[in-house]
Structure 1
Amino acid sequence: MERSRRLDSSGELTQSADIEYLLNAPLLPSHKLYVDTRPRFRPVPTFTVNLLLLLIQVAFVALTCVALFFCIFNGQEEICKQYMAPFNLRTIVVIAKVLLWLLHVVNERFNQYHHCKAKSRGYLKLYWSVRHLKSVPLVTLSTGNAAVLLIISAEDSFGSKNLYLYLIAGVLILELILSVIFVLIYAVRIYRFNRSMPRPDIIEEEYTHSSKRHMMPGIGFRERSSLEDVVEKQGDMIDYLKYHNAALSQKILSLTPEQSL
């Protein structure tokens, strides 16, 4: 009995000593914790790439129209054949269009990757605002490829010899107009986002709600939002919070040995 009491008393003394050591341990500077755990803004590097690809498409359409003008309208078809041999004008245009389409495929994957990274960092509004815009140029060129294939397959049905070339040029110009509109809208949104350097959406919402002291009509709901959008946005927000909590846990574990020293 006496031995057990001694063990208990020694155990209590050891435990109290450990607690006292933890309470009296020096704390880490607050500025160090703040700097290391504060979300760092990382711009979305798709602005320049999309504008460069748009310029390539503009140059392709312009060169195609110039080639059609000199080789068809001016009657210099024989001279053009000498420079384009062993290919003809139609083959060169189709090959160039396929290469341009492949560049758009790579660019769409590039955009998707960086927007998923921005989404994981908490920028959900940006992801939702451009989720369709970033893929519209690829869809436009894919539709144009189908139209060009249909025109070439019906080449023998046209009365004029070069009518199918004019139709292909019309498809290219229509693709360019649609691509310019949507790429510029997308580029403006990305430029404004990178320039404003916002904090993650959940931090901005907490700051706005605390300053306005505005009560929402329901937990997790927003006005003028469908139930499906609300559920999907909440899922994205939960994923970001899980990622952020995991990062903070890793940071706390890495700082624990420093504090014990």
Structure 2
Amino acid sequence: MDSKGPALYAAGSSADMSRSEEESLVDGPLISADALHSAIRREFQAIPTPCHAGVLSLLHVVYVVLSVCVAVLCVLELGQQEVCMNILGNVQGDSVIVFGKVCVWVLVLLFTGCVQHHHSQARSKGYLRFYRQMQGVKHLPLTVHSAGNVLLLVVLAARLSQAVQTYMLLSILAVELLVALPCLLYYTVQVMRFNRERPAPDVSQEEHSHNYSITSLPTETGFREGSSLEEVVEKQADLIEYLKQHNILLSKRLLNLTAQH
């Protein structure tokens, strides 16, 4: 009986000490919401694709201008043939335009893949609203150029006269430029605005508006009337991915505060 007493006393004292440590951790200073939001804003990574979109737009304009010059001077033979022979050699002018069209399409394809990669990273960090907003815009240039390639193949397969074929080719290039260039400019403006505002993730914005606004709606993590099941599943998956990243950020903040104290 006497041997059990000290053991029980030691176990009780160790339990009291662990409980006191837990209570001290709970009663310790909590991290404010402003500190967390500021940490999230510091962790914000800008999307670097506006520079790529600007370079692609410039190359597209240069290609169309050079194609018009080659078509007028070399294909339609309205210029000096000796200059065209010295520059192009034995390659025909319309073939040069087609080869250039393929190169531009490859650049647009690489640009679309790069944009998809960076936007997927932004989506995994909780920016689902921005991801959906730019979903159709970022794929539109590739769709336009692919449709132009189909029309170009139809024109080449029709075996029209040289003049008609050249005018049709220039018309396709002009329509592509008039549609794809404004799309790239709009995309550039939207991404630059997103990078300048450095917004918090969607969940943080909804929580902030829900805390400080009485009339705010709750976060859309469950099924709502009028919403599809695929949309709900997508939102929940993005929310889970964001919460993983958010927990990593909170762990880093806690370790930094622990090291400071």
Fold match by TM threshold 0.5:
yes
Cα distance in 2 for partners of 1:214, 1:21 equals 41
Q: Give 1:52's aligned residue.
A: 55
After TM superposition, the structure 1 = structure 2 runs for residues 1-261 of structure 1, keeping only pairs within 5 Å, are: 1-20=1-20, 34=35, 38-40=39-41, 41-71=44-74, 72=76, 74=78, 76-77=80-81, 79-155=83-159, 158=160, 160-214=161-215, 216=217, 220=222, 228-249=230-251, 252=254, 254=255, 258=259
Amino acid at match of 2:16: S
Stretches of structure 1 lacking an aligned partner (at least 5 in a row) = none
Between 37-46 and 118-127, report the one with greater CA deviation.
37-46
Amino acid at match of 1:236: D
Stretches of structure 2 lacking an aligned partner (at least 5 in a row) = none
SS at match of 1:162: helix
CA shift for structure 1 position 177: 0.8
CA contact (8 A) 1:124 1:236 kept: yes
CA shift for structure 1 position 34: 3.6
Deviations for 1:147-185, whole angstroms, at most 9, x for unmatched residues?
A: 212222222xx2x33321221111111111110121122
SS at match of 1:74: coil
Change (3 A) 1:219 1:63: closer
| TM-score in terms of structure 2 length | 0.83
Cα distance in 2 for partners of 1:174, 1:49 equals 22
Amino acid at match of 2:135: R
Cα distance in 2 for partners of 1:162, 1:17 equals 93
Deviations for 1:49-75, whole angstroms, at most 9, x for unmatched residues?
A: 101101100110011112222221525
Between 203-212 and 139-148, report the one with greater CA deviation.
203-212
Cα distance in 2 for partners of 1:220, 1:11 equals 46
Change (3 A) 1:34 1:215: closer
CA shift for structure 1 position 245: 2.2
Taking only the aligned residue pairs, the percentage that are identical comes to 31
Amino acid at match of 2:15: Q
Matched positions, count: 255
Change (3 A) 1:20 1:232: closer
Change (3 A) 1:237 1:29: closer
CA shift for structure 1 position 235: 3.0
Change (3 A) 1:172 1:223: farther
